Structure 1
Amino acid sequence: MKTYLFWSVVVLTYLGTVICEKPLGRRRAVPVIFVQGSHYDVGYDVGRTFSYIIKDFIATYENLRDFEKEYKTDTGRDAYDKTLANMKSRFPYYVKEIQGVADGANVPFHLLFLLQMDDLIGTINDNHLPRNDTGGCSSLAIKTPKSAVLGHTEDAFSETLNHFYIMSAHIIPTPEDRERGAVEERFASLCYAGHMPGYTMGYNENGLVFSINTLSPLILKPGNTPRTFITRALLASKNFAEAERVLRDEGLGIGNGFSLNMIWTDKTCDRKIYNAEVAPDLTGDKSLVNIQGFADEPLVHTNIYQRIKVKEVIGPIIDSSTARLKAIHAHQPPQNQKDIKDIISDTSGTDFQVFQEKKDSIIKTIAAGVFELDKMTWSIYINKPNSSEPVAVLPIRFSMLEKV
């Protein structure tokens, strides 16, 4: 991972737009869009509304420059074309959603699709193994007699700070998209600029509250389903069984890896907590999936496989995960939302912190979320949750449960 200096004034020329902006620091702002329509229309309105944020992000996100370099090689373009063809076949309506964002923001489609591919394109010509990945998110969930709580730190590359928004959507598929498998969806998800919803944290109105942790298998499967498409499809899940089916992705399988933390609520208000680890199956046409339920003990997950036996990368993402797990387990097991806020606010680590706010860190906690299902609220913090007020408190709605 390269590092770079921020000047007192950043001047960027991209896609014919000159962007001059002083360093922002950590802004206490959570943009939210409420949107309704077809996949394409919803994407278009997101792109149009957040055009500046999306353009600024793709102009400054250094990893995207690496993705573009790989895209221009024969191997990289072949992986891109194969992945796109497979996604047009399996999830054509989500490809339309990306196209809508691209059209609304007036940016090239291929740049947004490269963002969805992520390490599948970024490592396509990487002959320097083992890979040295960087990343981090921490998730912690508990079930109490009257409620369930999920806390999550959204950690991402420093360029992502101030480049995210929350999308609250009601998807009404077109007849054509319904014929291809699309269904009505109601959900809310934090989104990195230009990315599909789903690969962060949020909820759907079928009873799912979730958070995601990036995982880094050493061997990937370019051309297979990117994890961002799997997590996008999860937003349409009506129940746990459907979510498991989406994770397995029979017939193709995931190309990279992630961990999913879920709290499912049913019509009787019974709640169940699960963690799913997902990895590429190097010999089969489905994802490797390991799911564990949690009832009497807390769910704790970072960016390291805890159950699937898969060879992982080495480097900061593993070192950080190990350090954060140690810091989390140094606390007493959480009993309530206050305990969870205290733990995900931990900055005791020297090199790696649960709430990563060091100025020189490549990875930063860009936001933290606390889902409290007794109050049916999703609180979003920009600063440490145990010492700041939430910048936004969104209602959690399970309106679709009544239709199941």
Structure 2
Amino acid sequence: MSSSCESIPVLYIKANNNYDVGYKIGQTFKHFIRDHLTSETAKSLWSFYESKDGRKKYADSLEATRKSYPNIIEEIQGMADGSDVSFEKLFLQDMVSEILLHYSHVSKDVDNTDREVAGCTDVMVNTESCRLIGHNEDWSPEVRDGMFMVNVDLDKGTPSETVKGNKEVNNVFASRNERYLANMFPGFLAGNTFYVNETFAVSVNSLVPVSVNEGAVPVDILLRALIGCVSIEECVTVMKNEPVGCSFGINLNIASRQSANMWSLEVYPDYGKTLVSLREIPYSDSAVTDSYYIHTNHYKHVEKAKESPVLEGSRAREETAGNMPVPAKIQDVCSVLGDTSSHIEPIHRVPGKSFNRNSRTTTIASAIFDMNNDLLRVYLNNPKTSKYPSLKLPFV
């Protein structure tokens, strides 16, 4: 594909069970998935799986997931069957944060000089004239040509129930209907990049805590479950996942479609416990600093979070965005997401343009959720210099 051609496939699915959703994604994007499983990232995951310790951690994570969300296991199995690859290889994709950012110590050098972490940058604006989430999806170039969108109507034929306690959450979500528009990378579940359902728009940032909760459910599995949430209280409940817990850390930036509420949610594994911190972004009728919020790849509101010191670039991106005026329109947010001014690490990332010259992390896409107009814009090139988005879709 030439540099002047911009293309994002969109798959529309109507199904009545998770297996069929996964199968159709796997069947349609079989080439993307099989190609990605030859990448260096996939090879690293498989190498971990082939070790004695890796096999045990895989088995423990799989058992925890089967007990908590068997419907998501069915979705992964469907994707594996549809793309004609092994279930093990796809489940490993959904352990990528735990394996590459912790177990394999990919984010650390032996001399304690930390490497850059693939992460993302989020900008939230909660004002009357400009209510939106802007998100840079930063990842390895391996996935650039395999990215796609899914528009899913999962109707299980059951009435919607409300979660009333931690003990009920798994059963309720297993039978809950879902309607969502999500960005996906090949072989991964929906939910770990950005999406919108009937209640929320959500974007996701990597975090790098120093510990994992052994034997808990992988964070990407819980991110997939989160797509079914219909209240912010459910979001907190799903990410806590009591009594088993969430295995790793993550940041979610959430905008309500039904009110003026916006939140930043941080998940922190604390040696067997899962802490979830929620910070509200206040609404304003004018462009004020309190209604402008930036989140990159370090903890901001979990107190005393212990995290990898691999955060020089993350803090540089936050500082750059924070020094810019409060956005008053969509183009202002495009200018933030497309900024390349930092000599430490630019917000719009290009391989080698960072304090770590060996980094391959790049901005794969930029997304803007326009909450006032129920519209998603996705840019494959720098949004600051792009005349039009590569894709523009209404919310579900």
Q: Distance in 2 between matches of 1:174 and 1:142?
A: 37
Say if 1:346 and 1:354, in contact at 8 Å, map to a contact too: yes
Say if 1:143 and 1:273, in contact at 8 Å, map to a contact too: yes
Tell whether 2:383 aligns with 1:385: yes
Aligned to 1:314: 309
| Deviating more after overlay: 248-257 vs 130-139 | 130-139
Aligned to 2:155: 172
Q: Distance in 2 between matches of 1:120 and 1:133?
A: 16
Aligned to 1:19: none
Which residue of 252, 277, 285 maps to 1:290?
Answer: 277
SS at match of 1:230: helix
Aligned to 1:109: 87
In structure 2, relative to structure 1, the CA distance for the partners of 1:252 and 1:132 (3 Å cut) is farther
Aligned to 1:374: 372
In structure 2, relative to structure 1, the CA distance for the partners of 1:378 and 1:73 (3 Å cut) is same
Which residue of 12, 28, 32 maps to 1:49?
Answer: 28
Q: Distance in 2 between matches of 1:210 and 1:378?
A: 11
- Following TM superposition, by how much is the alpha carbon of 1:202 offset from its aligned partner in structure 2, in angstroms? 1.2
Tell whether 2:13 aligns with 1:71: no
Aligned to 1:11: none
Q: Distance in 2 between matches of 1:367 and 1:57?
A: 18
- Following TM superposition, by how much is the alpha carbon of 1:329 offset from its aligned partner in structure 2, in angstroms? 1.5
In structure 2, relative to structure 1, the CA distance for the partners of 1:396 and 1:90 (3 Å cut) is same
Aligned to 1:352: 345
SS at match of 1:59: coil
Q: Distance in 2 between matches of 1:196 and 1:26?
A: 29
Aligned to 1:87: 65
Tell whether 2:145 aligns with 1:162: yes
The superposition leaves residues 301-351 of structure 1 with CA deviations (integer Å, 9 ceiling, x where unpaired) of 000111212211123xx1210110121112112222221111111011234
- Following TM superposition, by how much is the alpha carbon of 1:277 offset from its aligned partner in structure 2, in angstroms? 0.8
Q: Distance in 2 between matches of 1:42 and 1:129?
A: 45
Tell whether 2:128 aligns with 1:145: yes
The superposition leaves residues 223-275 of structure 1 with CA deviations (integer Å, 9 ceiling, x where unpaired) of 21111111111110011111121122111111111100000122xxx221100
CA RMSD of aligned residues (A): 2.2
Aligned to 1:299: 293
Q: Distance in 2 between matches of 1:172 and 1:302?
A: 35
Aligned to 2:96: 118
Superposed, which structure 2 residues align to 1:177-216 within 5 Å? 181-205=174-198, 207-216=199-208
Query: Aligned residue pairs: how many?
Result: 365
The superposition leaves residues 44-98 of structure 1 with CA deviations (integer Å, 9 ceiling, x where unpaired) of 01000001111111112x1221221111111110100110011011000101101
Say if 1:164 and 1:190, in contact at 8 Å, map to a contact too: yes
Q: Distance in 1 between matches of 2:33 and 2:348?
A: 25
User: Unpaired runs of 5+ in structure 1?
Assistant: 1-22, 398-404
Q: Distance in 1 between matches of 2:85 and 2:296?
A: 33
- Following TM superposition, by how much is the alpha carbon of 1:182 offset from its aligned partner in structure 2, in angstroms? 2.8
Aligned to 1:277: 266
In structure 2, relative to structure 1, the CA distance for the partners of 1:84 and 1:174 (3 Å cut) is farther
TM-score normalised by the chain length of structure 1: 0.85
Percent identical among aligned pairs is 27
Amino acid at match of 2:213: K
SS at match of 1:162: helix
- Following TM superposition, by how much is the alpha carbon of 1:129 offset from its aligned partner in structure 2, in angstroms? 8.7
| Deviating more after overlay: 364-373 vs 164-173 | 164-173
Aligned to 1:402: none
In structure 2, relative to structure 1, the CA distance for the partners of 1:220 and 1:24 (3 Å cut) is farther
Amino acid at match of 2:389: P
Amino acid at match of 1:312: E
Aligned to 1:247: 239
Say if 1:132 and 1:313, in contact at 8 Å, map to a contact too: no
